[in-house]
Amino acid sequence: MKIALAQINSKVGDLKGNEALHADAIAEATRGHAQLVIFPEMSLLGYPPRDLVGRVGVAQACLAAAERLARSVPASMLVLVGLPIVSQGRPFANAMALLRGGVIEGYARKQLLPSYDVFDEDRHYQPGAQTTVVEHAGERVAVLLCEDLWQAGDVGSVRCYARDPVADARAQGASLIACASASPFVAGKHAMHVALLRARARTAGVPVASVNAVGGQDDLIFDGGSCLVSARGELLGVCGRFHAGLRFVESVPTTHAITDDSANTNFDPDLDTERFHACVLGTRDYLLKSGHSTAIVGLSGGIDSALVAAIAVAALGPSAVTGIRMPSRYSSQGSLDDALESARLLGIGRLATLPIDALHDAIERSVDGAFSVEGLTGENLQSRARGLLVMLASNATGALVLTTGNKSEYATGYTTLYGDMNGGLAPIGDLYKTEVYAMARLLNTRHAEFGFAHPPIPRATIEKAPSAELRPNQTDQDSLPPYETLDAVLRVLVESEGSIDQAVALSGASREVVLRVATLLDRSQYKRDQAAVILKLTARAFGRGRRHPITAGWSW
């Protein structure tokens, strides 16, 4: 059977645009004489639609779009299109419409509804009762949706589902499994997907064609990587990762895996490479899908802002990025020079210098003894003065501000509300500080591979001690453990929700240090709940998937 893997980049709610993507892919598949076309899960509405699915008229509009698409589908072709349909029980079902011969012949309903991490599908959807198997072109095609196939195995979790849709497909005599997914990116997850696909195909004894969504949607990133594996678990064809495309593959008996370049490109890169591509895609789509074409980055001369600027340039091009230097009374000449060098290396379109000294002084005069501006108050005042200026620039230009905080800072509260947290998107908010340095070194070492004419991060920025320069000769390590230690502790407390004892044992940090970090982590939840959207790169990103209370009596 000739299969078209239609790896499209849908935008949630953009039915007109999404329908056009489907129509173009169906036309291309028709010209290529495909017999089966598979789109991603919820491809017409976009995924995840969250509560938008419940808005009056949304499901009906999706159905009307699917009916229009069906008119162009010949009897020789079966097309699987994702959409919500009205259901009994809960309001909707997460379904794939089966288009053939000009009509919608029926639907395959998602059976396993995930309720972990960012997923909350029980909120709206009624689970399907069994696997849908349809006869087509001499094959019995079982249609599964995402979790029906993965069953949480792609996130290293064990879920006790009452049924196994893959086993159901085999029991019904399926000769091919077609799975439509919208599985969000997590670093390292793609390799787990491939291993699971091979295992599922061998278990079922039939080929498996899996199509995953691609693109950024709010905090989530979908990396594509759609592919077909044989009944023996051999790789038969692969779509690229981090970009849309349609790939024709043949489901035929084979004795060995194919070796063409398209199958191997980006298949199992190192995690820093994966994360960089994800940050670029997530940043680009967040801006473009929210109606922005330009971005603003506050350039401090530090590693975080240098990396965010590099991501912005890779996502949008240098002419679409504005850098702003905002020196204070404590800014060193080295930091000013490093910010300038960062802008030069990246070739960004504009670099503005807006000193905050006068603003700082004016606020102190305005307070005039009513409140103290010493210590932390004064340090935060600087950050908030900068936050005011970047948002002023955003209002004046229509550009979106990219915040530069990393996961280590968000975890411990070393960010300032209404200051450096100002902005619309946090591209590196799910990267620990040590990962920020690792990615910066990667870009410099392999700059041409990532589209840079020369190393994009100033060497001095990488080599100097990190500092927010909030007071004379200040460094981050004046008040935080070394980042290698801090990040090791946080990986236990955040990624694993581990205990103090586990963090001590696994990080090598003292109990006193671990307790202090744990306290900072809990106390800073109120900041994280007000943060800009953080691109999700890990299984435990700060955001929708990590639902911790702000006020709580739990004590470490």
Q: What is the pLDDT of residues 3-34, one digit of tens each?
A: 999 999 999 999 999 999 999 999 999 999 99
Query: Is residue 295 located within the same domain as residue 251?
Result: no
C-alpha–C-alpha distance, residues 401 and 394, integer Å: 6
Q: Give the residue from 267, 286, 315 where a domain finishes.
A: 267
CATH of the domain at 59: 3.60.110.10
Q: Say whether both 237 and 288 belong to one domain.
A: no
Average confidence (pLDDT) over 148-154: 86
pLDDT band at 515 (very low <50, low <70, confident <90, very high): very high
Which of 11, 19, 41, 62 is labelled catalytic?
41
| Position 260 pLDDT exceeds 80 | no
Which residues form the domain of 404? Answer: 274-469+528-534
Whether residue 244 is found in the same domain as residue 341: no
433 given a catalytic annotation: no
- Split at pLDDT 50, 70, 90, the class of 158 is low
- Does 29 map to a domain? yes
Choose the weakest-confidence range: 133-142, 263-272, 362-371.
263-272
Tell whether 278 and 383 lie within a shared domain: yes
- Is the same domain home to 284 and 212? no
Note if 16 is an active site residue. no
pLDDT of 227 over the 60 cut: yes
- My answer on whether 198 and 316 are in the same domain is no
> Is 265's pLDDT higher than 50?
no
pLDDT bucket at 379, cuts 50 / 70 / 90: confident
What is the C-alpha to C-alpha distance for residues 280 and 312, in angstroms, rounded to an integer? 7
Whether the per-residue pLDDT at 259 is higher than 50: the answer is: no
Alpha-carbon distance of 337 to 521, in angstroms, equals 34
Domain membership flag for residue 499: no
* pLDDT over 60 at 75, yes or no: yes
Angle, alpha carbons 247-2-141 (nearest 5°): 110
Same-domain pairing of 326 and 254? no
When the pLDDT of each residue in the chain is averaged and rounded to a whole number, the result is 92
Q: Given 11, 19, 62, 110, which residue is catalytic?
A: 110
Residue 539 lies in a domain: no
* Final residue belonging to a domain, choices 267, 296, 311: 267
Burial letters 317-355, b for 16+ CB under 10 A, else e: beebbbbbbbbbebbeeebbebbbbbbebbebbebeebe
Instruction: Judge whether residue 444 has pLDDT over 50.
Output: yes
Spacing of C-alpha 243 from chain mean position:
13
Distance CA 187, CA 164 (A): 27
Do residues 182 and 256 share a domain? yes
Does the pLDDT value for residue 201 go beyond 60?
A: yes
CATH number assigned to the domain comprising residue 284:
3.40.50.620
> Is a pLDDT exceeding 60 seen at residue 502?
yes
In a domain, 495, yes or no: no
Final residue of a structural domain among 267, 297, 318: 267
Residue 264 confidence (pLDDT): 42
Q: Note whether 279 and 263 are same-domain residues.
A: no
Residue 41 known to be catalytic: yes
Q: What is the band of 454 on the pLDDT scale with cuts at 50, 70, 90?
A: very high
Residue 154 has pLDDT above 80, yes or no: no
375 assigned to some structural domain: yes
Tell me, yes or no, whether 505 lies in a domain: no
- With a cut of 90, say whether residue 215 has pLDDT above it: yes
Residue 522 has pLDDT above 60, yes or no: yes
Residue pLDDT, tens place only, 88-110 = 888 999 999 999 999 999 999 99
Does residue 386 sit within a domain? yes
Q: Please list the helix, strand and coil fractions of the chain in percent, rounded to the nearest 5, in that order.
A: 40, 20, 40
**Does one domain contain both 248 and 191?**
yes
Q: Please give the pLDDT value at position 470.
A: 64
- At residue 266, the pLDDT reads 42
Give me the number of domains the chain comprises.
2
166 and 25 within one domain: yes
Separation CA 51–CA 44 (nearest Å): 16
Instruction: Tell whether 251 and 306 lie within a shared domain.
Output: no
Query: Of 11, 121, 146, 409, which is the active-site residue?
Result: 146
Q: What's the rounded Cα separation, in Å, for the pair 508 and 494?
A: 16
pLDDT at 325: 96
Answer with the residue of higher pLDDT: 477 or 391.
391
